[in-house]
Structure 1
């Protein structure tokens, strides 16, 4: 079973608190948390009637479309924040049934992941009844499926939108850090939504502000749903072969939010943003994809905002851009 990060963080002297759990399967408590953005919340029981609970496990999924071709990430690195190679080097096309067989047997030293996959492209999105949890609010939504072996990792990063993260099969752990503590997680100078810190190996001499942050932890088991407020940093790791689904919704963080953060981070970030504005915005040079599903750089996003009025262009999951 892949290792747990929370004990490592506590041993380093960091403050790690359990994420609040709703006492009962109370959709009202979940909706109140979303409305108030009062913080993350884990709920159990809200997915009990979803067909995904019984249909989205490797044995059943193999029966559905075993010959369907999928593009998965294979033989991924087990350590480090960035991929040693461009993400495209890890992509392999193979039959869905073959991938499912490999994901149940792959070890954490070389995990494999069918990740960031739109639900309707490989499964029936009606198997997950997100509409019963929260009525549509006029903003775009997007539902993605994550199927992978033990040892898969979504390194510490921040998303634009509110998120329901649901564990369908297997177990994962989640570490969260508030958007208000963004300086403490040391974003990359050219990329304000990805952290330079590997929480499995926290280097506090290099990243001392992390000591000032409060980290929140939950072990996610089948049937658990986690509300992650927009902007909250999250690190997600699989202890076992795993099937998860997430649902982004609501109004995204926008340009003013990121400009405030950029102002707090200082000259190194301003310089990187200006460079990427020119290189990847004005000159349209391709950016590397060594992050896990790399977002555009902050400079490119600022260029898009000034040109089109949309800072989230190509970064908002519900926009349909990749």
Structure 2
């Protein structure tokens, strides 16, 4: 365990570790070389203030480049430079002032590096640096004295109708032939019972301890297709207290939805594992996208489809799900806007056949997803999801 900032200095990249990345970025190359040399050469005398100023300027300039257009069009190199600059900025901030308030600020910079930057395959020791920084900053971060969060009771399993096939812990071969190759939505039972998450995550104090200091994107409003919906970056601890604490019950519904939480917080990823059904049909595990879905009762994902294979795994709580075949796409009234063209205008729970008459020809499939269950969804199958209780789901997407 790394417990001093001097030990963490050693995990910063040498210039030769990042030189190739910076070939066509002259300004970033100059600044990050000076920053790397500074920490590799026992803090060169008299240069700290100047290099710190340059690094902060690089963070600001790359932030502007990231926000100058659509996020998906930002070159990965720019996002990697942003992440590197953020890492060096953190160390200069700590050298300048190691107070608790400054440590809290450094935690926010670390989150920015992960949420906006690209830390994947940054350099050899990048993951070690990220985990060591997270542990160091969190152990001394400002803590708020609040009442403990609840430990959620197990949801008692219900007998419920299921309009799709069910398989009890199928083998990879059975999954491939009956589900994957036939593009058949299927409820898979007893396949993730070995996950520590099934018991550990119901204790919301565990989530608070492991991840509470991280900044995460939160959806505000129960349904992302509504006009009142918005997004906000917040500390996970604040989200947990607002949605699961002992409040007055009048707070607006918030949803941590479709977030790569496990790349941001490796300690949580240790509580799950990528199901063999994904890795047995994907080219390799690195091609599987893992998303987190955490929220209170009544969060809704409106009827929509995803372009990839999807295995939706229920850790705690239960969700009502309504499906429709990709063959019915033209009858499901997709939104015309580019942002929502994979989302239907209908309310699948209460379809309006007068307003949307083509729905009369659509066959809907209903099921209840309960703790320990996994739902296989083929690409472009439509699905509506509503949380019946406080809920944590993990989805695995692959091609």
Structure 1 position 44, deviation (Å): 1.4
Structure-2 residue corresponding to 1:178: 325
Q: Distance in 1 between matches of 2:350 and 2:210?
A: 40
Structure-1 residue corresponding to 2:337: 190
Structure-2 residue corresponding to 1:259: none
- Structure 2, unaligned runs of 5 or more: 1-160
CA contact (8 A) 1:166 1:244 kept: yes
Q: In the alignment, does 2:175 pair up with 1:33?
A: no
Distance change in 2, residues 1:113/1:86 (3 Å): closer
Q: Distance in 2 between matches of 1:161 and 1:108?
A: 37
Q: Distance in 2 between matches of 1:109 and 1:100?
A: 12
Q: Distance in 2 between matches of 1:49 and 1:17?
A: 24
Q: Which of structures 1 and 2 has the bigger CA Rg? A: 2
Specify the SS of the correspondent of 2:205.
helix
Select 1:98's aligned residue among 238, 258, 263. Answer: 238
* Segment of structure 1 superposing worse, 57-66 or 154-163: 57-66
Q: In the alignment, does 2:370 pair up with 1:224?
A: no
Structure-2 residue corresponding to 1:112: 254
Structure-2 residue corresponding to 1:236: 385
1:124-163 CA deviation, whole Å, 9 max, x = no partner?
3343322423325327320000110111111111110010
Q: Distance in 2 between matches of 1:27 and 1:126?
A: 23
Distance change in 2, residues 1:163/1:221 (3 Å): same
Specify the SS of the correspondent of 2:354.
coil
CA contact (8 A) 2:222 2:300 kept: no
| TM-score of the pair, normalised by structure 1 | 0.64
Structure-1 residue corresponding to 2:75: none
Q: In the alignment, does 2:356 pair up with 1:210?
A: no
Q: Distance in 2 between matches of 1:37 and 1:121?
A: 34
Higher strand share: 1
CA contact (8 A) 2:311 2:374 kept: yes
Structure 1 position 17, deviation (Å): 6.4
Specify the SS of the correspondent of 1:164.
strand
Kindly report which structure 2 residues correspond to 1:146-295, keeping only aligned pairs within 5 A, or say none: 146-191=293-338, 192-250=341-399
CA contact (8 A) 2:255 2:299 kept: yes
Q: How many residues align?
A: 228
Higher helix share: 2
1:41-92 CA deviation, whole Å, 9 max, x = no partner?
0111100112222222223212313222223223x156xx73224634xx24
| TM-score of the pair, normalised by structure 2 | 0.53
Q: Distance in 1 between matches of 2:318 and 2:348?
A: 18
Q: CA RMSD in A?
A: 2.4
- Structure 1, unaligned runs of 5 or more: 1-15, 251-322
CA contact (8 A) 1:30 1:43 kept: no
